[in-house]
Amino acid sequence: MLNEKVAKLLEEQINKEFYSAYLYLDFSNYYVDAALDGFANWFKVQAQEERDHAMLFLQYLQNNMYSVKLEAIAKPDQELKDHMAPLKAALVHERYVTASINKIYEAAYADKDFRTMQFLDWFVKEQGEEEKNADDLIKKMELFGTDAKGLYMLNSELGSRVYAAPSLVLD
Ligand code: FEO
């Protein structure tokens, strides 16, 4: 049985992951309005991945006989003043999510909850990748985004991202 603190943190993480999906959908909408369909696609795919993360936390809790209560998802409130703003906000947000996952890990570790630690291992690795992806996007935008042709090429590259289901599967 899950320790109450660990379970509560896992439950809160469902909300954080759905908020991430909502936030990235908001970023996607920003780029749709700016006619940058590749950037919009990239964030739409990211939003799908975040929804998957939320569902994995939900499933894990249910697999451990925890009765999940869903809370309201906050409205995305980032001010998006230029094409770089969503990219920088995404990196800040991913660092926040990493800290949140680490906090759950800490609680599981303190409780010798090896099952939850093993479940979270996938997310620890995933967060490393997501922070790197967000950082790469900022660097590419800094390099190419100020030139119209460069921005066009970068937009085309980001348009090729396709959704893939997570490698972690819970029965
Ligand atoms: Fe689900 Fe981007 O963290």
- Could you identify the atom of ligand 1 that is nearest to the CA of residue 126? 3
Rounded to the nearest angstrom, the gap between the alpha carbon of residue 135 and the centroid of all alpha carbons in its chain is 14
CA of 63 to the centre of ligand 1 (A): 21
In the chain the domains, ranked by start, together with CATH numbers, are 4-159 (1.20.1260.10)
Look at residue 134 in the predicted model and tell me its pLDDT.
98
HSE on the CB side for 64, CA within 13 Å?
A: 19
- Could you identify the atom of ligand 1 that is nearest to the CA of residue 97? 3
Residues touching ligand 1 (Cβ under 6 Å) are 17, 20, 50, 53, 94, 97, 130
CA of 75 to the centre of ligand 1 (A): 17
Look at residue 59 in the predicted model and tell me its pLDDT.
98
Look at residue 171 in the predicted model and tell me its pLDDT.
82
Protein residue with its CA nearest to atom 2 in ligand 1: 94
Q: Which regions of the chain are under pLDDT 70?
A: none
Protein residue with its CA nearest to atom 1 in ligand 1: 50
Residues 141, 154: contact at Cβ < 8 Å? yes
Look at residue 77 in the predicted model and tell me its pLDDT.
86
